[in-house]
Amino acid sequence: MFLNQIPFLRLLTKIFSITLIFLLVAVSAFAQKKKKGELSEQEKAKAEGLFIDATKERLLGNPANAAELYKECLKIDANNSAAMYELATIYFNARKDEQAVELINQAVKIDPKNEWYRLLLSDIYSQTGKNSEAAKILESLSNDFPKKPEFLYEWATELLKAGKYEEAIKVYNRIEENLGISEEISIQKHSIYLSMKQGEKAAEEIKKLIAAFPENSRYLGMLADLYTSLGKKDEAFALYEKMEKTNPSDPLLHLSLANYYREKGDKEKSYTELKKAFQNPDLDIDTKINILLSYYVLTEVNKELTSQALELTEILVDVHPKEGKAHAMHADYLFREGKLKEAQEAFRKTIALDNSKFLVWSSLLQVNYTLNDYESLLKESNEALELFPTQAIVYLFNGIANMQLKNYDDAIAILNSGVAYAKKDKQLSSQFYSSLGDAYNFVKNHKESDAAYEKALEIDPENITVLNNYAYYLSLRKENMERAEAMSKKSNELEPDNASFEDTYGWIMYQQGKFTEAKEWIGKALKSAEKPSGVEYEHYGDVLWQLGEKDAAKEYWNKAKVSGGGSDLLDRKLSEGRLVE
């Protein structure tokens, strides 16, 4: 990519002082002839007054008023180039390009040597994509004002935009002849030559910098990197050796060597050099983080690199212990690799250094939730709510934590407070109503529970958690069983082989007296579950009892007892040796 040139004097073309206004008035065409004779003194005075009034309006930020006054001025003095210039500028700013070009061209014809008029015309051409035309104007300005190098810079820029690279190089050479060797020009020419696939000429530009500034080892590194990309590995290595002798602690050298060895296929040496760069505090943290971000993609393809990435994040934290983003990067990798407890602590260290980043808080809450650490989830979601009171996900995590800790009233209150912030996210909004449905069910407010579940399904008809939970709770109450059966069937269609969903459907069959179908579906649940729950074992025992398989039923009730989590009636079933409902 080419560097943008921003000539240091071009800002003068955008600002007119009161002194310049009157200078323009003085050099304007007030003294020039109209088509049918000279202006009278009265006409001159009126035109001058209109020009001054128009310019005041422009400076006060009233371009429309100014434009009308400039037009009135031109009606009196049709050859007033200064008024044409000012009006053209207003048109240009209003994106009326054709009118602006027509006016400024007239001004240039009246006063062809006026640099401001020509600059405005070049600006209009440049902004409208007529870069070759802009370049021609800037070429003439460069020739007419040889002591103003900014015109040369702009001329070269317009040539680049027009794709005239060879011509741009010639202009940059002229700048060098006037000002001497500079990094800005040499790097620009280097970039142009690379875009033209002329690697040797690009190398020559870097060599010129090395000769002009021998104390700057960075140029040696640039040349070595270029040689590496050109396949000249021996020449590149010779330069790296030279750099290492003069400045062995240069972290950029080690990055270059890491790239060099990687190109040669020596992965071990490449990683060794990369570690040296990471261990150097002089290499800025953002460069290191960008390298680690590239590892995200690499580790998806090559898992062997995961250990490298984790080690590099540890180095990052050791070298930059007070940088929150260092701990955040370390935490991200730990979380991705399933090292949840370590990730939890790393995110907490990040927040201790900088608590202003919502994404870090969100990640910490996600880790707490994944760890089933509901005490931490409640505590830290409360802290996050103080900092981010409009973030819906924080309310949701807080509500879930309160439910898991059996603070059902608190859960209902916080979920109702947060649901409004989730309106723009259908999935999140549906999840809020799902959680509200669960919370209301726990306090046996079935009317509100059912309403919340219905709202969740209205937003997302395929919310499988709601389809399952709502169906199960209806079955426990033996209410609206057709609706329960339809929802449970749909959840199993959307996600087959889910033990919980299969158990729900089987229990609905049981509640409807369809014991054979119930045995089939709860049996599926036991096979699908990696570790069946006490509820699933107890349900299967109840079904077997209803089918007359009483000894087998007692066996499954015992399994439910061992597994834990059965119903309040399980102990009575075992002690009395019969089904209790």
Is residue 293 in some structural domain? no
- Region 296-312: mean pLDDT is 88
Identify the pLDDT of residue 244: 79
Residue 138's identity, in one-letter code, is L
Identify the pLDDT of residue 85: 93
Give the domain range for residue 222.
Answer: 215-283
Give the model's confidence band at 257: pLDDT under 50 very low, under 70 low, under 90 confident, else very high: confident
* Crossing angle (nearest 10°) for helices 18-27 and 41-59: 150
Identify the pLDDT of residue 24: 44
Residue 354 tokens read as: 């900088």
- The number of C-alpha atoms within 13 Å of 564 and in the hemisphere containing its C-beta is 0
What distance in Å separates the CA atoms of residue 497 and residue 485, rounded to the nearest whole number? Answer: 17
Identify the pLDDT of residue 241: 82
Tell me: pLDDT of 301 over 90.
no
Is residue 325 in some structural domain? no
**Minimal CA–CA distance to 556: which of 569, 547, 545?**
545
> Could you tell me which residue, 467 or 298, shows the higher pLDDT?
467
- Region 258-268: mean pLDDT is 88
CB atoms near residue 75 (< 10 Å): 11
Give the model's confidence band at 12: pLDDT under 50 very low, under 70 low, under 90 confident, else very high: very low
CATH code, domain carrying 272: 1.25.40.10
pLDDT for 492-529, tens place per residue? 999 999 999 999 999 999 999 999 999 999 999 999 99
Give the model's confidence band at 115: pLDDT under 50 very low, under 70 low, under 90 confident, else very high: very high
CB atoms near residue 250 (< 10 Å): 20
Tell me: pLDDT of 26 over 70.
no
Residue 351's identity, in one-letter code, is I
Tell me: pLDDT of 422 over 90.
yes
Tell me: pLDDT of 34 over 60.
no
* pTM: predicted TM-score of the whole model, two decimal places: 0.67
Tell me: pLDDT of 255 over 80.
yes
Question: Of 257, 283, 309, which residue is a domain's last?
Answer: 283
CB atoms near residue 384 (< 10 Å): 24
pLDDT for 229-250, tens place per residue? 888 888 888 888 888 787 788 8
**Minimal CA–CA distance to 357: which of 332, 335, 378, 379?**
332
Average pLDDT, the chain: 90
Identify the pLDDT of residue 229: 85
Tell me: pLDDT of 431 over 90.
yes
Distance of alpha carbon 5 from the chain centroid = 28
Question: Of 283, 302, 337, which residue is a domain's last?
Answer: 283
Give the model's confidence band at 18: pLDDT under 50 very low, under 70 low, under 90 confident, else very high: very low
> Could you tell me which residue, 224 or 192, shows the higher pLDDT?
192
- Region 179-196: mean pLDDT is 93
CB atoms near residue 431 (< 10 Å): 25
Least reliable range by pLDDT among 264-278, 294-308, 492-506, 560-574: 294-308
Question: Of 283, 317, 341, which residue is a domain's last?
Answer: 283
- Region 344-357: mean pLDDT is 96
Is residue 500 in some structural domain? no
Domains: count for the chain? 2
Is residue 265 in some structural domain? yes
Is residue 579 in some structural domain? yes
Tell me: pLDDT of 22 over 60.
no
Tell me: pLDDT of 89 over 60.
yes
Is residue 249 in some structural domain? yes
Give the model's confidence band at 454: pLDDT under 50 very low, under 70 low, under 90 confident, else very high: very high
Identify the pLDDT of residue 333: 95
pLDDT winner (highest mean) among 148-157, 288-297, 395-404:
395-404
Identify the pLDDT of residue 7: 35
DSSP 111: S
What distance in Å separates the CA atoms of residue 427 and residue 437, rounded to the nearest whole number? Answer: 15
- Region 7-13: mean pLDDT is 34
Identify the pLDDT of residue 91: 92
Is residue 556 in some structural domain? yes
Give the model's confidence band at 147: pLDDT under 50 very low, under 70 low, under 90 confident, else very high: confident
Tell me: pLDDT of 51 over 60.
yes
Decide: 84 and 106 in contact? Cβ < 8 Å. yes
Give the model's confidence band at 31: pLDDT under 50 very low, under 70 low, under 90 confident, else very high: very low
**Minimal CA–CA distance to 478: which of 506, 511, 455, 445?**
511
Express as a percent the part of the chain with pLDDT over 90: 78
Identify the pLDDT of residue 231: 84
Is residue 159 in some structural domain? no
What distance in Å separates the CA atoms of residue 493 and residue 158, rounded to the nearest whole number? Answer: 63
Identify the pLDDT of residue 565: 84
Identify the pLDDT of residue 29: 43
Decide: 367 and 335 in contact? Cβ < 8 Å. yes
CB atoms near residue 170 (< 10 Å): 12
Tell me: pLDDT of 1 over 80.
no
What distance in Å separates the CA atoms of residue 156 and residue 142, rounded to the nearest whole number? Answer: 11
Residue 280 tokens read as: 């150097």
Residue 521 tokens read as: 């579906």
Identify the pLDDT of residue 3: 35
